[in-house]
Amino acid sequence: MSEHVVVAPLVVALVTAILTLGVRRYPRTQRTISLLGIGAYAVAVITLASRVVPLGVLTGGGGTTETLTYQLSNWPAPFGISLVADALSVFMLVLAVLVVVPALVFSVLYIEEFGQRISYHALFHFMLAGVSGSFLTGDIFNLFVWFEVMLMPSYVLVVFYGRAKHTRAALQYTVLNLLGSAVMLVAIGGIYATMGTLNMADLARRLAHAGEYGINPAPVLGLGAILFAVFALKAGIVPFQFWVPAAYRAAPAPIAAVMAGVTKKVGIYAIIRLLFTVFGAATLESELGFGMAGTSFLGLFGPVLFLMAIGSIFLGGLGAVSRNDLDNVLAYSSIGQVGFIVLALALAATGEGTVRTVGLIAALIYSLNHAIAKSLLFLVSGTVYEAVGSIRFDALGGLSTKRPVIAGSFFLGGIALVGIPPLTGFFGKLLVFDTAGKAIVAGEPFAEVALAVALAGAILTIAYFSRAWNRAFWGTPSEPVTRSYQPTTMVVLVGAFALLVVVLGIGFDPVYRAADAAAHAATEWETYVEAVGPEVIE
């Protein structure tokens, strides 16, 4: 029962990438193909999404979500590679579409002609293929491969401008991620040796019935922790955050938007998939004997997630308050914002029942909000650079009087992150607080601390955004700002993207229902296993 629609986003992205390489002598054709390709990608994802999560589910009119699978070359499940599109994968894919479409259109206007012709479009689409593959795959080794497909173009895109600071940032980024990949391979090898399978559904089932399969799940806890560390590196969570600011500053603005908006979320997605689906029913057996017998894996990961979240929120927040240019503030801010996502995940991991579901919904909504708002802000930063020639606060000032649309877009992105109703950020924050509240009622440990951290983080967010706003957009226009020009098309694009943030906030109900379906898809591992249907091997 292979559904070809599952593989469609991947094929579209790969074909577009290759086509843009083929026609690079004809820049106009290349740009046209690239833009058509991203349109086709959006259509493919939306078609897939409408099959998995029917419209009725989004409007509350009834209907059930499905889990579609595609077995490569028709090999049955645990032997071949499975691609799985459930509500969670589809949610992340739609999130990616919302970011990459404006980012690519912006790139066509922003990246200089020569750079576009050489490699930019191909790299962009290869990266997109890697992202889609990571969201769709149902096999951990294949996940490694898609990670690499996603990372390799991103190395090149970080070093895209090729000057001193870019090569330095790219070197750091590349070496770190290569080490991460090696460590991921080690974890995968270990999991294969102890579990005898790499299929996520098969893993989930074997971990759930460890006794029947004669497996000791204890080594998998450690190996899973190694995998988790690699995913945290991709997501830029403290203590793996140090590559983030340099890489985001070196990358071209639309790429920084995609990296902060989408590739970070690949890390978050992988963490959710691993902890909540694969380890969903895994518990430690008694013989380990640290007094942890019968503890679920999730319960053990909870406190770790919690510490990482606190670290990220404070490090990101405090870092962003003291930076002196737009990109730097945004980069540190994205460390802090991912901290909020992880905080919700930590509460979901330690919680049970509704706390777990609400926590996951909060994490997903927050991811969506962060993806859109942060990439909007990076695009605004790119537009400011194009218009003024600098994004340093000491060169900016008074943009709100000279360039009201740019300033307005920044303001919308900013208050979406701060969480002012009716923007999506408000619901994201509200749900994080709601989860913490529910966790306190359920008597979970750390829940009060989580609430306090979330509050402090929210205050930090307000602090660094009002500071950025004061320094760059308010006041009397500075010398470079008065000399600035209006890059009209870019401004229109950024303004339209800003409106999308508002629209998603006002029409929030379908977004919430989609996140709800995704959260259930993440936790209901039985449905996932059943859909993939790995054969039982002795």
Which spans of this chain sit near another protein (rule: CB under 8 A)? 141, 144-145, 148, 152, 155-156, 159, 162-164, 167-168, 170-171, 174-175, 178-179, 181-183, 185-186, 188-190, 192-193, 198
Smaller CB separation from another protein, 178 or 293: 178
CB 228 within 8 A of CB 274: yes
Nearest by Cα to 462 from 493, 426, 496, 489? 426
By beta-carbon proximity to another protein, the closer residue of 115 and 510 is 115
Pick the closer one to another protein by CB: 41 or 126: 126
Q: How far is the CB of 186 from another protein (least distance, A)?
A: 5
Instruction: Tell me which residue of 50, 2, 41, 45 sits closest to 19, measured CA to CA.
Output: 41
Q: What is the DSSP string of 76-119?
A: -TTTS-EEEE-HHHHHHHHHHHHHHHHHHHHHHHHS-HHHIIII
Closest approach, Cβ 196 to another protein, in A, equals 9
Nearer to another protein, 246 or 521 (CB): 246
Minimum gap (Å) between residue 140 Cβ and another protein: 10
Residue 144 or 465 with smaller CB distance to another protein: 144
Q: b/e string for 96-126 if b means 16 or more Cβ within 10 A?
A: bbbbbbbbbbbbbbbbeeebbbebbbbbbbb
The Cβ-side half-sphere exposure at 206, using a 13 Å CA radius, reads 25
Other C-beta atoms lying within 10 Å of the C-beta of residue 293: 12
Q: Which two three-digit tokens encode residue 295?
A: 């503890």
Smallest separation, CB 151 to another protein (Å): 8
Cα dist from 229 to 32, 147, 238, 535, whole Å: 40, 14, 10, 30
User: Minimal distance in Å, beta carbon 185 to another protein?
Assistant: 4
SS3 content of the chain, % helix, strand, coil (to 5): 75, 5, 20
User: Are 423 and 505 contacting, i.e. CB atoms less than 8 angstroms apart?
Assistant: yes
Q: Which residue's CB is nearer to another protein, number 144 or number 240? A: 144
Q: How far apart are CA 158 and CA 252, in angstroms?
A: 7
Q: Which is nearer to another protein, 270 or 416 (CB)?
A: 270
At closest approach, how far in Å is the CB of 199 from another protein?
A: 11
CB contact set of 262 (below 8 Å; sequence gap of 6+): 95, 96, 99, 100, 131, 371, 375
172 vs 486, beta carbon nearer another protein: 172
Least CB distance to another protein at residue 174 (A): 6
Closer residue to another protein, CB minimum distance, 179 or 455: 179
- Supply 203's token pair: 């893993």
Q: How far is the CB of 538 from another protein (least distance, A)?
A: 15
CB 3, min distance to another protein, A: 25
The minimum distance between CB 189 and another protein, in angstroms, equals 4
H helices present in 285-403, as ranges: 297-321, 326-350, 353-388, 399-402
Query: Side chain identity at 377, as an amino acid letter?
Result: L
Q: Which is nearer to another protein, 28 or 163 (CB)?
A: 163
Q: Do 459 and 451 form a contact (C-beta atoms < 8 A)? A: no
